[in-house]
Amino acid sequence: MVLVNQEFLHSVTHELANILNYWKTNTIDKKHGGYLGRIDHFNQVIDKSSKGIILNSRILWTFSAASNHYQNDAYKVECITAYQYLQSCFRDNNNGGVYWKVNYLGEPLETKKQTYAQAFTIYSLAEYYKYCNKKEVLEWAFDLFELVEEKTKDQEFDGYIEAFEKNWGSLQDMRLSDKDLNAPKTMNTHLHILEAYTTLFEVTNNSKVEKALKALIDLFLDQFVSENNHFKLFFSKDWKNLSHETSFGHDIEAAWLLLNASKQLNDLSYIKKTEILALKIVDTFLEEAIDQDFGVFNAINQKTNKLDFDKHWWPQAEAIVGLLYVWEITNDKKYLAIANKVWAFIERYIIDFDNGEWYFRVDRHGVSYQNENKVGPWKCPYHNTRACIEMIRKLK
C-alpha cells in the first residue's frame, strides 16, 4: 500500500520519536558512565562490553541532530553525556585523534587511529556545535580536520590512508572489521570524511575545508564510480581496484551525500554533476538492489553475480533518502512511490515493535537474525535517525 504524503510523514515522524526514546531510555551506562557497549537482539544488556568510537560518536551525532531538528533541549543531557565521554575516554591528548575502542570502564583498549573514526568524530562534533554553539567543540572538530589532512592524506596519489598506529606510525592491519579487505584506501572511509567535511564546512565556511571537500567530490567522480553505475569499494594506494563487491547501501548513500555536499558548497557545477550521477546510481539501484517485497539486498559480487539476499537495517534507511533526493531532482513520483514501499517494508520487517529500535538484519523471508546486536560497535542510531529527519524534511 502506498501512503499519501501526509500519512507517510506521520508514520516517519512517529518512528523518529520511537528511535530516540529507545536510545534515551535504554542505552545510558548509569554505572560506568557514557553509553552501554552492547545490547543483544532480545534487549539484554551484555555486561562489561567494550565501547567503540563509532557507536559513541554516532550517538553524539544522533542526539545533536535530533536537538537541531526539534529545536529544543529535550536531548541536552544525552548530548552532554556523549560529548563528555568522547572527550574524557576516547580523546588521545598526547598523540591527537581518537582511539578505536575503550573497555567498559572507559580505559583505552585499542589505540589505533582509524581515519574513519576521526571522520565520525568530526561529523558528530560539528553537528553538536550547531546545537550548543560552544567554541571548544568547534575547535576540537577543526583540530581533528587538520590532523586528518596532515597525517592521513596521501601526498603522492591523493585520497586518505585507512589507519595508523597510536602515534600515527604505519599499520599493517588497516581493516575496519573482519569483513573488510585489508586495503590502504576504501570508499567507505572517504564517504564518511565527505559527510564530516560537509557539516564542518556548514558551521565554519572555512576555505581549507571547502578545498578538501571539493577534492573529495572530485575523487568520487574520478576514482570511485564504476562503468556500471556502482561505487568501487577497496583500493591500493595508487587506486587499483581490489574488489568485485558492490554494496547497495553504500551506492545509494553516496549518491545523496555527494549531492548534499555539492549543495552545501553552493557550487552549480558540482550540483549538476552530482545530480546526473545520483540519477544514474539510483536507477541502477532500482534495477538491481530491490527485492519483490521492496526490501534492499545487502550486496552482490560483480564477478560471480552471487547475491547477498540479507536485508540489513541501514541500507533500507539510506535507500529512502536517496530516492527522495532523486524525486526532488526529477519531480518523478515513481521515486516517491518506491520510497513509500521501502518504508512499508521497514515497518513490516525491520522495526522491532516488541523491544524497540530496528533489527540488525533479516533474511530474504523477513526473519530476523537473533545473534545480532540491537546496540553494538556497528549497530548505532545514526542511519535510521538521519533517514527519518531527512524524510521529514523532504516530505514537508
Average pLDDT of the segment spanning 123-148: 98
* Amino acid residing at 1: M
The residue among 54, 45, 48 whose CA lies nearest residue 32 is 48
pTM, whole model, 2 decimals?
Answer: 0.97
Average pLDDT of the segment spanning 23-52: 98
Residue with cell 556548514: 202
Other beta carbons within 10 Å of 227: 5
Other beta carbons within 10 Å of 180: 15
The residue among 353, 339, 314 whose CA lies nearest residue 18 is 353
pLDDT level of residue 396 (50, 70, 90 thresholds): confident
Average pLDDT of the segment spanning 19-46: 98
What's the maximum distance between 2 C-alpha atoms anywhere in the chain?
Answer: 56
Lookup: cell for 53: 568510537
Q: What percent of the chain has pLDDT over 90?
A: 97
- DSSP codes of every residue in 33-88: SSB-S-EETTS-B-TT--EEHHHHHHHHHHHHHHHHHHTSSTTHHHHHHHHHHIII
3-state DSSP of 202-227: HHHCCHHHHHHHHHHHHHHHHHHECC
Distance, CA of 393 to CA of 385 (rounded, Å): 13
The residue among 292, 311, 191, 179 whose CA lies nearest residue 245 is 179
Average pLDDT of the segment spanning 104-130: 98
The residue among 108, 200, 107 whose CA lies nearest residue 146 is 200
Distance, CA of 160 to CA of 155 (rounded, Å): 9
pLDDT level of residue 5 (50, 70, 90 thresholds): confident
Beta bridge pairs of residue 35: 28
pLDDT in tens, 360-379: 999 999 999 999 999 999 99
User: What is the model's pLDDT at position 1?
Assistant: 44
Q: Report the chain's C-alpha Rg in angstroms.
A: 20
Distance, CA of 255 to CA of 225 (rounded, Å): 10
Average pLDDT of the segment spanning 246-268: 98
Q: Average pLDDT of the chain?
A: 97
pLDDT in tens, 350-360: 999 999 999 99
Beta bridge pairs of residue 87: none
All domains in the chain, ordered by first residue: 5-395 (1.50.10.10)
pLDDT level of residue 178 (50, 70, 90 thresholds): confident
Average pLDDT of the segment spanning 110-127: 98
Average pLDDT of the segment spanning 157-180: 95
Half-sphere exposure of 327 (CA within 13 A, CB side): 18
User: What is the model's pLDDT at position 172?
Assistant: 93
More confident residue, 178 or 260: 260
pLDDT in tens, 41-80: 999 999 999 999 999 999 999 999 999 999 999 999 999 9
Other beta carbons within 10 Å of 107: 10
**What contacts 31, CB < 8 A, 6 or more positions away?**
none
pLDDT in tens, 307-324: 999 999 999 999 999 999
User: What is the model's pLDDT at position 6?
Assistant: 87
Three-state SS for 241? strand
Average pLDDT of the segment spanning 155-175: 97
Distance, CA of 12 to CA of 77 (rounded, Å): 24
User: What is the model's pLDDT at position 2?
Assistant: 46
User: What is the model's pLDDT at position 4?
Assistant: 57
Judge whether residue 31 has pLDDT over 90: yes
